[in-house]
């Protein structure tokens, strides 16, 4: 098994503040990063901001700022997501950093040198006031005028560098064929393969209509196309063009996590740029779905943009993280609703997981003064619960390989449900009435607490703060849960007999509505 894991988020445009879509991708990456650490791998987890290009330049002009001033302001909102959402990223990259200029220009030069990037002419329909090119298709949908401002457009030509994407059709198709897991989910893979099989045009990779970008080497007036610049962040973050220990250890990336709207850039253009420059293409790209909000598209004009900081303040990072990954099959679109978030947090986290822990600790306190008893002889329900624990651990492992967060979470909730049923069925409160049952009572409480311990561990990539608190309660004086190895700590029977546990621990208080 490969013992390293490199995962990336897209880098976010600094023309606007973070919303639920950004939080979603970043949280998904964080869960995978945490899980792979628990599997004993060395993990690199990169996120950052995309600061060049027309979008940022325009938005800065509207605000009366220079693009750099805007970037410097907005970047703090993205950096602040890590502490707010308990994100464990190892790196943060801004495309305006000097190290990134060096990296992009190096990659570009390699393709210039081998003829894959050549100077040509870009011709298209241009809206002068908006300074934007439009395709025939976009114009057709807007009655022949500029789709944003409705004014007439004119045919324009500008010198542009092109990347010979057409040359990479066969190599890309071969790469997809040889690496069936490269693009996930499967349906998205089929779309990309069909797109590439349909033929590829060369791609314009520079602009003269814009100054806010990385200069094309030795070509005054040309700046590198923002997507060429942005994609390269994934290698800059590891030290490219230097062959740093990070670069040689972690490249190629295991997963570029992206939204479905930007899959083509990652699964077609990016591997082609890399192949051309003699750098290995990434091993995987996973495209997730989009969120609507209460059934509607999220937009500023509707005023329904979900602010992740606001969600964390209201419900806590754990509940927000849990909801986003529990609610929909990862890969599909989903609908965000605070009502549903509260319902799930209360019915699953508070009533099921929180309750299992707190009531078991309560009984341990009452009947054993808080000292964990040694389990005695196993009876049928005990063996069944232990088997459920093993099944849950295996199911989470398989689900995380598949990047199916919803499956992992339902496996944990199923274990918790079974553990609560076990407590109902074995009736420790009834056993406690007769001293002759003391051994049996100890076994039952041991098993209930052990199920809670295992659940806390398996939930920890999703709910790191609550899991840590559960861990402190169940493994007093132990190392933090985020350092635990799932193979060792995930084995049934890890709860230490004799340990002194608190008499209560409420990690998921009920959210009042
Ligand atoms: N800067 C580019 C990415 C460059 S990566 C080399 C970009 N930035 S973005 O800020 O516009 O979007 C970043 C991510 O947010 C994308 O993966 C996109 O899919 C995601 N989302 C934006 N709105 C979303 C929802 N409503 N729901 C889920 N994700 C969404 O694109």
Q: How confident is the model at residue 313, as a pLDDT? A: 97
Tokens for 243, please give them: 């062959």
Would the CB of 230 count as within 6 Å of ligand 1?
Answer: yes
* Minimum-distance ligand 1 atom for the alpha carbon of 16: 10
Q: Compute the distance from residue 298 Cα to the ligand 1 centre, in Å.
A: 13
The CATH number of 338-489, from 3.40.630.30, 3.40.50.300, 1.10.730.10, 3.90.1150.10, is 1.10.730.10
Write down the mean pLDDT value for the chain: 96
pLDDT band at 245 (very low <50, low <70, confident <90, very high): very high
Residue 258 Cβ contacting ligand 1 at under 6 Å: yes
Q: Tell how strand 285-288 and strand 255-259 pair up.
A: parallel
- Is 449 a residue whose pLDDT tops 80? yes
**DSSP state letter for 221:** T
Q: What is the pLDDT of residue 272?
A: 98
Pairing relationship of beta strands 154-163 and 203-204 according to DSSP bridges: antiparallel
6 lines ligand 1 (CB under 6 A): no
What residues does 293 pair with on adjacent strands? 296, 336
Domain(s) labelled CATH 1.10.730.10 in the chain stretch across 338-489
Query: pLDDT-derived band of residue 446, with 50, 70 and 90 as boundaries?
Result: very high
Q: What is the pLDDT of residue 247?
A: 98
Q: What is the DSSP string of 1-13?
A: ---EEEEEEEEEE
Flag whether pLDDT at 131 surpasses 80.
Answer: no
Q: Which atom of ligand 1 is nearest to the CA of 289?
A: 28
pLDDT (tens digit, 9 = 90+) per residue, 134-157?
888 888 888 889 988 889 999 989
Pinpoint the residues of the chain covered by CATH 3.40.50.620.
Answer: 4-289
Whole-number pLDDT of residue 137: 82
Does residue 357 register a pLDDT over 90?
yes
Which pLDDT tens digit goes with each residue over 459-499?
999 999 999 999 999 999 999 999 999 999 999 999 999 99
Q: Which atom number of ligand 1 is nearest to the Cα of residue 266?
A: 6
**Ligand 1 pocket check for 25: Cβ under 6 Å:** yes
SS3 449: helix
Does residue 21 line the site of ligand 1, with CB under 6 A? yes
Q: Is the CB of 22 under 6 A from ligand 1?
A: yes
- Fold for 4-289, please state it: Rossmann fold (3.40.50)
- The answer to whether the CB of 467 is under 6 A from ligand 1 is no
Q: Strand 183-184 to strand 206-207: parallel, antiparallel, or no bridges (unpaired)?
A: unpaired
| C-alpha pair distances (Å), 239 with each of 139, 280, 305, 359 | 42, 15, 35, 50
Q: How far is Cα of residue 109 from the mean position of the Cα atoms in its chain? A: 32
Task: Compute, in angstroms, the gap from residue 137 CA to the centroid of ligand 1.
Answer: 23
Q: Which atom, in ligand 1's list, is nearest to the CA of 50?
A: 1
By the 10 Å C-beta count (0-12 exposed, 13-18 middle, 19+ buried), 273 is classed as buried
Greatest CA separation for the chain = 92
Give the per-residue pLDDT at 148.
81
pLDDT tens per residue, range 257-309 = 999 999 999 999 999 999 999 999 999 999 999 999 999 999 888 899 999 99
* H helical segments located in 350-404: 355-368, 380-402
Mean pLDDT computed over 341-363: 98
Q: Which of 9, 14, 18, 22 for a ligand 1 pocket mutation test, highest count of atoms within 8 Å of Cβ?
A: 22
């Amino acid at each position: 098994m490969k013992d390293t894991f490199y995962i990336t988020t897209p880098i976010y445009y600094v023309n606007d503040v973070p919303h639920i879509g950004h939080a979603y991708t970043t949280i998904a990456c964080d869960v995978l990063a945490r899980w792979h650490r628990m599997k004993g791998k060395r993990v690199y987890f990169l996120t950052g901001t995309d600061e060049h290009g027309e979008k940022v330049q325009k938005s800065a002009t509207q605000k009366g700022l220079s693009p750099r001033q805007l970037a410097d302001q907005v970047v703090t909102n993205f950096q602040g997501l890590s502490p707010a959402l308990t994100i464990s990223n190892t790196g943060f990259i801004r495309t305006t950093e000097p190290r990134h200029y060096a990296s992009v220009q190096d990659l570009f030069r390699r393709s210039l040198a081998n003829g894959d990037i050549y100077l040509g002419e870009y011709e298209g329909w241009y809206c002068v006031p908006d300074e934007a090119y439009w395709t025939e298709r976009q114009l057709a949908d807007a009655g022949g005028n500029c789709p944003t401002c409705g004014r007439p457009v004119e045919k324009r030509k500008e010198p542009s560098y092109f990347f010979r994407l057409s040359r990479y059709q066969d190599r890309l198709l071969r790469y997809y064929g040889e690496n069936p897991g490269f693009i996930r989910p499967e349906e998205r893979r089929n779309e990309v393969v069909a797109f590439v099989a349909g033929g590829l045009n060369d791609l314009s990779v520079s602009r003269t209509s814009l100054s806010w970008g990385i200069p094309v080497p030795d070509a005054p007036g040309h700046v590198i196309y923002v997507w060429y610049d942005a994609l390269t962040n994934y290698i800059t973050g590891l030290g490219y063009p230097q062959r740093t220990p990070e670069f040689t250890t972690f490249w190629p990336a295991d997963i570029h996590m992206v939204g479905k709207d930007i899959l083509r850039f990652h699964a077609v253009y990016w591997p082609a740029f890399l192949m051309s420059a003699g750098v290995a293409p990434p091993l995987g790209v996973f495209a997730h779905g989009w969120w609507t909000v209460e059934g509607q598209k999220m937009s500023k004009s509707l005023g329904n943009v979900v602010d992740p900081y606001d969600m964390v303040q209201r419900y806590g990072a754990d509940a927000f993280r849990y909801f986003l990954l529990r609610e929909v099959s990862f890969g599909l679109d989903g609908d965000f609703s605070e009502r549903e978030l509260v319902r799930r947090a209360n019915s699953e986290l508070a009533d099921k997981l929180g309750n299992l822990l707190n009531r078991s600790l309560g009984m341990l306190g009452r009947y054993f003064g808080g000292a964990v008893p040694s389990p005695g002889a196993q009876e049928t329900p005990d063996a069944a619960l232990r088997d459920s624990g093993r099944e849950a651990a295996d199911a989470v492992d398989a689900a995380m390989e598949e990047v199916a967060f919803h499956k992992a979470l339902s496996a944990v909730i199923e274990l918790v449900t079974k553990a609560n049923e076990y407590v109902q069925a074995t009736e420790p409160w009834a056993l406690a009435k007769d001293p002759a049952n003391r051994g049996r009572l100890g076994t039952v409480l041991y098993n209930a607490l052990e199920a809670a311990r295992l659940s806390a561990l398996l939930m920890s990539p999703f709910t790191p703060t609550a899991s840590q608190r559960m861990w402190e309660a169940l493994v007093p004086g132990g190392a933090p849960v985020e350092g635990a190895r799932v193979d060792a700590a995930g084995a049934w029977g890890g709860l230490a007999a004799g340990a002194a546990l608190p008499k209560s621990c409420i990690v998921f208080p009920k959210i009042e509505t």
